[in-house]
Each structure stands twice: as C-alpha cells, then as structure tokens.
A and B are shown apart, each in its own frame.
Chain A
C-alpha cells in the first residue's frame, strides 16, 4: 500500500486533533520532529545549566539540613536533564551531538540562568519563582502530543513542587528574621521577579513558535496566559510573608479577575538571549570545564568495559 505524504500528514493532523499521543516510531511531519528536538533539547540544557547558579550555594548553605535539601534539589535538576535528553533521543538525535551544541554555544537554554545568585536569599527566590514559573510552563506539557516528552514532564512535575516549596520556605524563614535578612529576601525578589516573568517567553504577538505548536498540542496555553497566572499566583504568596512586589503598576483588575502589571523590559530579554547577560560567558565556561574535566572518566569507563568484553 502506497501512502502519499499528504495522506500521512492528514492522518497525523486528525490524530493529534483528537488529542491522541504520537510515539517515536509513528510517522510525523519533519517540522514537528524538528520543533520537538529543539524544544526538548533546549529544555534539557536548561535543567543542566540550571544546576550552576544553585550549585554555587551548596557549600555555603546556612545549615546542614538546608545543604542536604539543596543538594537533593540540584541532583533532581540533573535527573530532569537526563529524562529530557532521553526523550529527545527517541526522535533520532544523538545525545553527544546535543551536548556538543550546548557546549559550543549553538544551542539555547533558558536565559534565566544567566543571572547571578548573589546571596542565600537568591536560592529562595530561584526555588519559589524560577521553579514556580517552570512548573506553570511544564504542567500543560504533561499533556503534550508527543508521548516520551509528556511522560518525562510528568516525572519532572512530580518532583518539581518540592523545589518550589523549599524556595518559598527559605523566603518565609528569612522574612521572620532580622531586618538585614528581610532586606536580603526583598532584594532577591526585586532582582528575580522580572526575569522570572520573562521565562514565559515573548508576548503572544511576538512569539515565533506559538500558533503551530498550539495546533500540534505541544503547547496548550499562550505565553501571556501563563504569565498572567504566574502573577496572580505569586502576588498573594509575597503578601502573605510580607514581601513587596517590585512593580509600581501592579494592581488588581476586577473586570478581568486578575492583576494588571507593568511592562516587561524586552530589550533586556533579547539582550540576555543574544549572549550579553551577566553570566552567559561564565555558565558556558563552567559547563565546558566540567565536560573536559570529566573526559578521562568517560574514556576510562569505555576502556574498562572494552577490556572486560574482550576477556569474556
């Protein structure tokens, strides 16, 4: 039976429209495969690079318990990166090539991780806001049309809510502390709030990949919808522990049943994506160093396995 591309394409569209899952060996349009590889690998890279700003605080955590918690959280991020690389590989790409693209700077990762983590309160703000925004983005992805991605996201989301709570608990504790500790928490919120809102991507009118990805059930909600939810969710949480939102335009809008909020600095957003953020260079250098320093371990493991196979 000869099926034309057109026929396959129609079948695929109908299948996805019926909210069914696509699995690795099923036929899929090249553009669908390509956009998924791009999105899943970028997502994986973000998890891996995301370990860096928090990893810097493992040795400086204020208590043994906080240290153990942060260590577990950072280990989770590594795990999330691995689930996602594994999902990307089902689309026919090689993991080593994906890693190469990250290390060479060719591939993108979430630009939030190009901001520095200056104080312990930043670890609170990252968990609360950055992981909070990530969850907001990721929950709908659990229903994404591509099976392996949806399954990876289900695992990630299950683990991620611990991350957000541990961040909020750091902020909560600081806000019960001395004036200096409260200031530290407020300062961290001031610096992370706007970059966290940028995590939802460009405004709907500017977004490049949105409409096709919506049709393909890769994306379920628009960038602006999710951003609005993030604002509405965070405002009462900040209020509850006595933090002030760093946005003078922020106010409740009864008509829309949500908050109005200030304009995002899109120049900054595109500038950081273009590589000019505070830590872009440092993050890539750190990743490259870790990769290079680990090379002898990878080589030794292969040599050991070859030797054992030869002796069999």
Chain B
C-alpha cells in the first residue's frame, strides 16, 4: 500500500503565544505545502487562542545537535562558574550590584 501513498512532508510548528514572547516549538504536522502547514497548524495547535503568530519549518531543514555530542558542546560551561554573578562575593555593605 505504501508506494502510491501521497506522503505529505513533515513540518515543525512554532507558536508565539503572545506579543513580546519568542516562538516556541509545539509539535509537528503533515502538509502538502507551507501555506497548508500554516492553516493546519492554526487548527491543530491554536484552537484556544494559544498563539498570535505561527512559524512552520520543513522538518528536514532542521539540523539538530546530537545527544552524543552533548559533553563536548555543553560540559565546558560547568567549570566556568565565574560567568555567573553569584561567583563574586560582595561586602555586606554593598547590597545590589
């Protein structure tokens, strides 16, 4: 059955929940083209005013980091605690900096 199936491509959907916030990934869907993907995303992911703006991105266009690289990518941050302000102890007299 699979060979003559019209397989619509997969799109990842990002929704801005309200003005001032960034778009956030909400899930994916299938659609024949970008326009239909926006229409479907509206019906599937924003039936209750969950958004004011939608991005759809072909899933195959996304390059993701691999979990096996997570050490190389994210671990070095651990030994650079001085990047956080709390690393530096202030005298009691100085309350805010």
Within 8 A of A (CB), among B1-46: 1-2, 5-8, 10, 27-33, 36, 43-44
Chain A interface bracket (under 10, 10 to 19, 20 to 34, 35 or more): 20 to 34
**Choice from A76, A152, A304 contacting B32 with Cβ under 8 Å:** A304
Which residues of chain A have a CB within 8 Å of any CB of chain B? 23, 25-27, 72, 75-76, 79, 82-83, 86-87, 89-90, 94-97, 100, 104, 148, 151-152, 159, 295, 298-299, 301-302, 304-305, 308
Q: Contact at B44–A79, with CB atoms within 8 Å?
A: yes
CA distance A114 to B67 in the complex (A): 43
Residues of B near A27 (CB, < 8 A) are 67
Residues of B near A299 (CB, < 8 A) are 6
CA distance A182 to B10 in the complex (A): 49
Which residues of chain B have a CB within 8 Å of any CB of chain A? 1-2, 5-8, 10, 27-33, 36, 43-44, 47-48, 64, 66-67
**Choice from B1, B29, B36, B47 contacting A301 with Cβ under 8 Å:** B36
- Give min CB distance, B36 to chain A, whole Å: 6
Q: Contact at B44–A83, with CB atoms within 8 Å?
A: yes
Q: Contact at B67–A26, with CB atoms within 8 Å?
A: yes
Q: Contact at B44–A304, with CB atoms within 8 Å?
A: no
> What 8 A-B pairs are tightest by C-beta distance, nearest first?
A301-B32, A305-B33, A305-B32, A86-B28, A302-B6, A298-B6, A86-B27, A96-B5
